[in-house]
């Protein structure tokens, strides 16, 4: 069954909701497809806050400088400038739409996080910033008559040819049957891919489907090797890797080893406020040095009342596992957290495939470079979600979905393999378990040629299994990350090669560009007009 709308947005995080509102304001119909409930996204789980140069002690130029510094020489300066300059007005717009950021005496409260030179992080309800932003944006979106939400609709593939994307294929949540939805354009805002790793702070929906679908349809991806690992995820056997916010160290929390000794001062001059990649590797090194599987985050120097006010959600979650922030050391270790790479876009969210736009973590604008600055992700999703929505409306409003029907075909018309539904689900679960462990052990915080090649050989073998198609997107994303990690023979930002431990600006100050049917190529810019060369 084929349906039709004006525009499709895949994902209901900050980027997708902001894009949908922008398109609806242009007078178009928008269908928002979400894999889970409407409010389920990486945005909802964002505790740390949203960075913006709005305080009296801050400047846009300083925010830009900090972002470029964290990006390890690989940020697109124009994209960074767009984000930090446009950020204040979009934050004000969120406030106007009802977002309740924390205040004292009527004034916004700004906090500081690692690698920021100023206090510029806005929070809501202490550590529930993402949830508050999603609440306000969903309310704003529901006020637009042109926006329709379809929850629990798992998108499988894009409808496209080499020339254009004109829709998606998804599983109808009501009748559990495949559907085709045609549109003038598709905006990918499906989030990241943390779930391809064994340990991650990401929700279950973050499986990289958007990246895999774009790749399969012919769009270019960039910088897939750069995956950020958050240093401090709660490390309790049998419990999910709950994120312990960067802000806890920003407010003065310290890391201690198994012996109770503070250790970050031995690894970096900024200690706990060093960039995330450095803190993550320092924790791994300290665990190896002390032959343990965890280190500890110490917040016991703070008053209980302050901790309850500043980190209410974290406090409550830790209590559930028998830990009191004001009295106990919290066992932590790194976990996969954020993908800097993704669908290659210009400054307006256009991908290299006509009719396909992307924003948020699924996209690569070049803003984050090789290592995202803490709390920039929500701002990027907000700013570039609006820009992608606006560009899609301007580019495609004059056409109808039917205008593209004779030019496109489904990119993957292969039928589901025979066998019981139970058997397919059973195999998919086994495939994902194996892929996640391989990604953690071979494509994780510390990488090497031997480990990456071994992972890629196993991925290839897994892909040959008759029933592996159910995990096709999952396996594709894992393969793309490993392949790009093997290609980059240096260490930069979140990508660390034990066999190439030094940063090499002479050869590798370039972006990796990945597309179907071609070797990885190098580009000096994310912009499509950059000169590329095979390597």
The CA distance from 357 to 15, in Å, is 11
140 and 97 Cβ atoms separated by less than 8 Å: yes
Q: How far is CA 162 from the centre of its chain?
A: 26
The CA distance from 210 to 192, in Å, is 8
Residue 135 annotated as catalytic: no
The CA distance from 16 to 202, in Å, is 17
Name which of 17, 8, 14, 26 is nearest 390 in CA terms: 26
Catalytic residue among 276, 281, 372, 492: 276
Name which of 137, 110, 64 is nearest 367 in CA terms: 64
Residue 492 has phi, psi (to 5 degrees) of -150, 125
Q: How far is CA 442 from the centre of its chain?
A: 21
For tokens 């496209």, the residue is 160
Could you give the 3-state DSSP secondary structure of residue 306? helix
Give strand pairing partners of 228: 338
515 and 215 Cβ atoms separated by less than 8 Å: yes
The CA distance from 169 to 178, in Å, is 7
313 and 267 Cβ atoms separated by less than 8 Å: no
203 and 221 Cβ atoms separated by less than 8 Å: no
How is residue 196 annotated by DSSP? Answer: G
Kindly report the CA angle at 25 between 158 and 366, in degrees rounded to 5?
A: 55
Name which of 167, 170, 191 is nearest 336 in CA terms: 191
The residues annotated as belonging to the active site are 276
């Amino acid at each position: 069954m084929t349906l039709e709308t004006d525009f499709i947005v895949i994902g209901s995080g900050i980027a997708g909701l902001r894009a949908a509102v922008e398109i609806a304001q242009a007078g178009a119909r928008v269908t928002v497809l979400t894999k889970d409930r409407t409010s389920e996204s990486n945005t909802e789980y964002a505790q740390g806050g949203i960075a913006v140069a709005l305080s009296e002690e801050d400047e846009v130029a300083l925010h830009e400088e900090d972002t470029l510094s964290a990006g390890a020489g690989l940020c697109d300066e124009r994209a960074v400038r767009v984000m930090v300059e446009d950020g204040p007005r979009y934050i004000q717009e969120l406030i106007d739409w009802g977002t309740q950021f924390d205040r004292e005496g009527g004034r916004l409260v700004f906090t500081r996080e690692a690698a920021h030179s100023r206090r510029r992080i806005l929070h809501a309800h202490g550590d529930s910033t993402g949830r508050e932003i999603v609440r306000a944006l969903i309310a704003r979106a529901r006020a637009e008559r042109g926006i329709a939400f379809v929850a629990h609709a798992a998108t499988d593939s894009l409808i496209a040819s080499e020339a254009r994307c004109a829709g998606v294929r998804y599983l109808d949540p009501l009748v559990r049957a495949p559907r085709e939805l045609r549109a003038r354009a598709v905006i990918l805002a499906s989030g990241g891919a943390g779930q391809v790793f064994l340990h991650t702070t990401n929700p279950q929906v973050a499986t990289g489907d958007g990246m895999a679908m774009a790749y399969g349809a012919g769009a270019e991806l960039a910088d897939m090797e750069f995956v950020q690992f958050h240093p401090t995820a709660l490390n309790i056997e049998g419990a999910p890797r709950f994120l312990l916010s960067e802000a806890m160290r920003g407010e003065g929390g310290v890391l201690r080893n198994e012996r109770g000794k503070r250790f970050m001062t031995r690894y970096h001059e900024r200690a706990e406020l060093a960039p995330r990649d450095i803190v993550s590797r320092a924790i791994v090194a300290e665990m190896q040095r002390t032959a343990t599987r965890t280190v500890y985050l110490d917040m016991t120097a703070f008053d209980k009342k302050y901790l309850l006010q500043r980190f209410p959600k974290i406090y409550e979650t830790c209590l559930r596992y028998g830990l009191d922030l004001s009295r106990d050391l919290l066992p932590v270790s790194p976990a996969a957290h954020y993908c800097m790479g993704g669908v290659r876009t210009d400054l307006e969210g256009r991908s290299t495939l006509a009719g396909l736009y992307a924003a948020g973590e699924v996209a690569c604008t070049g803003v984050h470079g090789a290592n995202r600055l803490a709390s920039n992700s929500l701002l990027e999703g907000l700013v570039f979600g609006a820009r992608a929505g606006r560009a899609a409306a301007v580019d495609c409003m004059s056409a109808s979905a039917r205008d593209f029907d004779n030019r496109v075909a489904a990119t993957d018309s292969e039928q589901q393999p025979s066998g019981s539904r139970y058997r397919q689900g059973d195999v998919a679960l086994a495939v994902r378990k194996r892929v996640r462990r391989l990604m953690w052990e071979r494509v994780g915080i510390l990488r090497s040629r031997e480990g990456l090649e071994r992972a890629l050989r196993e991925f290839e073998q897994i892909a040959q299994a008759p029933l592996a198609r159910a995990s096709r997107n999952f396996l594709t994303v894992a393969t793309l990350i490993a392949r790009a990690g093997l290609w980059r023979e240096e260490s930069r930002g979140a990508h660390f090669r034990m066999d190439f431990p030094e940063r090499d600006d002479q050869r590798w100050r370039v972006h990796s560009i990945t597309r179907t049917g071609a070797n990885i190529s190098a580009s000096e810019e994310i912009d499509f007009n950059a000169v590329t060369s095979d390597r």
